[in-house]
Amino acid sequence: LLARPFRRVYGLPGTGAAALALGLLGGYPVGAQATVQLFQAGQLSREEAEQLLGFANCSGPAFLVGMCGSAVCGSVRTGFVLYAIHAAAALLSGLALTRGKSGRSKPPRPVPAEPFPAAFTGAVSDGMATALKVTAFIVFFAVLLSLAEAVGVLGVFAAALTPLLRLAGLPGPAADAAARGLLELTNGLAALPALGLGARELLPLMSLLTGFGGLSVHCQTLSLLTGTGLSTRTYWAGKVLHAALSYALASIWCTALPQSTPVFAPAAASGPASALFPAAAAFVLILFSIRYGKMAKDAL
């Protein structure tokens, strides 16, 4: 369904549409994992995989709507706005990263079908291994942030960010939250409500942080690239571009519709629907893993 428009717009094989869709639905680092699996299965060339990594590794609705919108802002509507901005910035980043691509000279090699029992057990095993990696990095960076704050390193980092934030039109007091978010995304976002800032400052900053992802997320992604030989140059360029475009789109939205969406609404405004996103994302990830999770082994 998405393969043909994906190939026409980005000049990459249609199989890459699955990685992009999973990245936008499953969140970090699902898009990177899907891209690596496609590369190892021979569905993407090295150059194509490196380009796809630059814009397929995204935050998903479970985090942006469920956590950022509902838990942090107390507004599911704000979460949907953040997700729309995030997804649009990712798609625009892909256009910039793949500019001039003419498409693959030969079609990807066919992938033999795999029995469901083997695919299912492999999907569960791979999913658990990835979950352990993600958890390990989250715990590590939570401890690192506490140590950095205790010894004053976090304050120095925040002070260095202050001129850059002011240059971007953001208030200086947001520097501490920005410093935390650039290291560990969730920690930085959780510090935003206490700043008492308005929508025109907070939404662009939240969009910038979620677009970049934070060092913890990048370590999770890099752990998936170990042994693949894929370069991360395009990946880093893509995340910086994603952050910049997210900030720009959020700023435009706030200027055009300054009163349409409250940033910090009462928690009661959040409905139970946001709880469906983690389950939906996990279900889609399992389906993808069953289809693609063992392609590398089958193709060898």
Q: How does pLDDT run across 173-186, given as a tens digit for each residue? A: 889 999 999 999 99
Give residue-wise pLDDT tens across range 89-142.
999 999 999 975 555 545 555 555 566 576 567 666 666 777 787 788 888 988
Residues 226-234, mean pLDDT to the nearest whole number: 93
Does residue 137 belong to any structural domain of this protein? Answer: no
Binning pLDDT at 50, 70 and 90, where does residue 70 land? confident
In a domain, 187, yes or no: no
Provide the 10 A C-beta neighbour count for residue 5: 11
What integer pLDDT is reported at residue 263 of this predicted model? Answer: 56
Using H for helix, E for strand and C for coil, what is the string for the chain?
A: CCHHHHHHHHCCCCCHHHHHHHHHHHCCCHHHHHHHHHHHCCCCCHHHHHHHHHHHCCCCHHHHHHHHHHHHHCCHHHHHHHHHHHHHHHHHHHHHHCCCCCCCCCCCCCCCCCCHHHHHHHHHHHHHHHHHHHHHHHHHHHHHHHHHHHHCHHHHHHHHHHHHHHHCCCCHHHHHHHHHHHHCHHHHHHCCHHHCCCHHHHHHHHHHHHHHCCHHHHHHHHHHHCCCCCCCHHHHHHHHHHHHHHHHHHHHHHHHCCCCCCCCCCHHHCCHHHHHHHHHHHHHHHHHHHHHCCHHHHHC
**Does residue 167 fall inside a structural domain?**
no
Of the listed ranges 48-52, 198-202, 249-253, the least confidently predicted one is 198-202
pLDDT of residue 270: 39
Q: How far is CA 240 from CA 128, 201, 236, in A?
A: 29, 19, 6
Kindly tell me if the per-residue pLDDT of 30 is higher than 70: yes
C-alpha R_g of the chain: 19
Residue 262 lies in a domain: yes
When pLDDT is cut at 50, 70 and 90, the band that residue 271 belongs to is: very low
When pLDDT is averaged across residues 279-290 and rounded to a whole number, the result is: 44
| Mean pLDDT in residue range 157-170 | 89
Residue 4, pLDDT above cutoff 60: yes
Asked if residue 208 belongs to a domain, the reply is no
* Res. 71 pLDDT band, cuts 50 70 90: confident
Residue 184 lies in a domain: no
Q: Read off the pLDDT band of 264 (50, 70, 90).
A: low
User: Looking at the predicted structure, is the pLDDT value of residue 282 above 70?
Assistant: no
Work out how many domains the chain is built from and give that number: 1
Question: Domain range spanning residue 222?
Answer: 3-130+217-299
pTM over 0.75: yes
Least confident of 108-117, 205-214, 252-261, 271-280: 271-280
Pick from 154, 127, 108: which is nearest to 26 by CA? 127
* Residue 149 maps to a domain: no
Domain contains 193: no
> Does residue 261 surpass a pLDDT of 60?
no
Mean pLDDT on 51-75:
90
